[in-house]
Amino acid sequence: MIPVTKPFAPPIEEYQRYLEDIWSRKWFTNNGPLVNDFELKIKQRLNQKHFLFVNNGTIAIQLAIKALGIKKKVITTPFSYVATTSSLVWEGCKPVFVDIQKDTFNIDPAKIEEVIDQDAEAILATHCFGNACDIDAIHAIAKKYNLKVIYDAAHCFGTSYQGKCIFGYGDISTTSFHATKIFHTIEGGGVFSQNPQLLRRMAYMRNFGHDGPEQFQGLGINGKNSEFHAAMGLANLKYIDEILKERKTQFERYDSLLEKLRVEKQRIQKGTDYNYSYYPIVFESEEVTMKMKLELEKREIFPRRYFYPSLSSLNYVEKTETPISDNIASRILCLPLFHDLSVQEQVLISRVLLREQNN
Ligand SMILES: *Cc1c(COP(=O)(O)O)cnc(C)c1O
């Protein structure tokens, strides 16, 4: 069986050592020493001043929305994981979908201005598959109309834009460290901001709003993460360069194995130093896509339709026409890509696709 992704697992002895420390301290959660160490190491590695480790990438988006005080309309992408949209609705905001660019799979800045009205407060954009949005264009619009910008950078560990870590852009960037992501803490997420006051607000919010044991600074939620998750993050961090390097090798191997496959590929945004986290391919039609998927599945190979369906078709949002997103969603597959995917497996997957193309 070849799944679309498989979590990286560090040598068990290395995780075990962290567990022994945790056992000896009996400090399991609530801002423990490993959480602190993990936050520090992430900031050092990514050259970021402000970062909070939270319990998942969905809570990270919700904290960002709450901390910025956003309550009304948010301009967003229909081509992302469902958490991007559901977080907005969960927080009582109204998602306003703007279609994507057909080649980058990211929100099309040229179409943002036409949906801006009095109630528009923010833009929530996903850097899809680790590919930077047209950040310059988005920021110019945000400035002109006084909108906040949140980036859902869940796919972006290891991506830089114009020479800087991509988590440094926007009022707040969020990420996910879920086990399916390129860098993970089993479950986990993070918020980054250049604004120390916003970070402080989210730090209170992450801990029920506590400001001392009997004191509350404001409304909060439980967004904390545990020592066990921080331990996995610390153990994995040691291998992140290896993980990123292997991912690039695999990505380029698919490129050469699949040179003759008739598919469209994602265009990487200029200025992006990309992390190669996913291998999306877009077939000529939905029919061909489904045929390819079935042929792979017959051989116990499980690509995923990331992202299908378009989020503009969810039953809890206002129906919006997003033809480009719908079209890409109907024709896209992400091929298996994970640290211990073997050359033979990549060859097998490629053979199945090429053989089917000629049938
Ligand atoms: C994974 C993912 C999330 C959610 O992260 P969790 O840690 O699973 O809550 C949000 N947005 C995108 C684009 C994702 O891929």
> Do 172 and 275 reside in the same domain of the chain?
no
> Do 147 and 48 reside in the same domain of the chain?
yes
Coarse DSSP helix, strand, coil percentages of the chain, rounded to the nearest 5 percent: 40, 15, 40
Q: What is the pLDDT of residues 263-283, one digit of tens each?
A: 999 999 999 999 999 999 999
Query: With a 6 A CB cut-off, is 128 part of the ligand 1 pocket?
Result: no
Query: With a 6 A CB cut-off, is 176 part of the ligand 1 pocket?
Result: yes
Domain ranges, residue 223:
12-99+106-237
Q: How far is CA 72 from CA 75, 181, 260, in A?
A: 10, 30, 47
- The 3-state DSSP class for residue 152 equals strand
Atom from ligand 1 closest to the CA of residue 178: 7
pTM: 0.98
> Do 192 and 88 reside in the same domain of the chain?
yes
CATH number of the domain that residue 193 is part of: 3.40.640.10
CATH number of the domain that residue 327 is part of: 3.90.1150.10
What the block records as the tokens of 86 is 């559901």
> Do 94 and 220 reside in the same domain of the chain?
yes
> Do 213 and 302 reside in the same domain of the chain?
no
Query: Is the bond preceding residue 307 a cis peptide, omega within 30 degrees?
Result: yes
> Do 88 and 176 reside in the same domain of the chain?
yes
Atom from ligand 1 closest to the CA of residue 56: 7
CA distance 174 to 87: 12
Query: With a 6 A CB cut-off, is 223 part of the ligand 1 pocket?
Result: no
**Torsion angle defined by CA atoms of residues 42, 48, 45 and 25, in that order, rounded to the nearest 10 degrees:** -30
Q: What is the pLDDT of residues 184-217, one digit of tens each?
A: 999 999 999 999 999 999 999 999 999 999 999 9
> Do 82 and 174 reside in the same domain of the chain?
yes
pLDDT given at position 48: 98
Q: Is the pLDDT assigned to residue 358 strictly greater than 90? A: no
Is residue 157 assigned to a domain? Answer: yes
Query: With a 6 A CB cut-off, is 58 part of the ligand 1 pocket?
Result: yes
Number of domains in the chain: 2
Q: What is the pLDDT of residues 83-98, one digit of tens each?
A: 999 999 999 999 999 9
pLDDT given at position 131: 98
> Do 127 and 258 reside in the same domain of the chain?
no
Tell me what the mean pLDDT of segment 113-120 comes to. 98
> Do 184 and 224 reside in the same domain of the chain?
yes
> Do 245 and 231 reside in the same domain of the chain?
no
The pick from 5, 81, 156 for probing ligand 1's pocket by mutation, whose C-beta has the most ligand atoms within 8 angstroms, reads 81
pLDDT given at position 12: 98
Q: Is the pLDDT assigned to residue 10 strictly greater than 90? A: yes
The DSSP output letter for 132 is P
Atom from ligand 1 closest to the CA of residue 126: 13
> Do 20 and 51 reside in the same domain of the chain?
yes
The pick from 63, 84, 133 for probing ligand 1's pocket by mutation, whose C-beta has the most ligand atoms within 8 angstroms, reads 84
Q: Taking a C-beta distance cutoff of 8 angstroms, is the pair 74, 124 a contact?
A: yes
Q: Is the pLDDT assigned to residue 359 strictly greater than 90? A: no
Report the nearest-CA residue for atom 10 of ligand 1. Answer: 83
Angle between helical axes of 240-257 and 343-357 (0-180°, round to 10): 30
Is residue 6 assigned to a domain? Answer: no
Of the pLDDT bands very low, low, confident and very high (cuts 50, 70, 90), residue 293 is very high
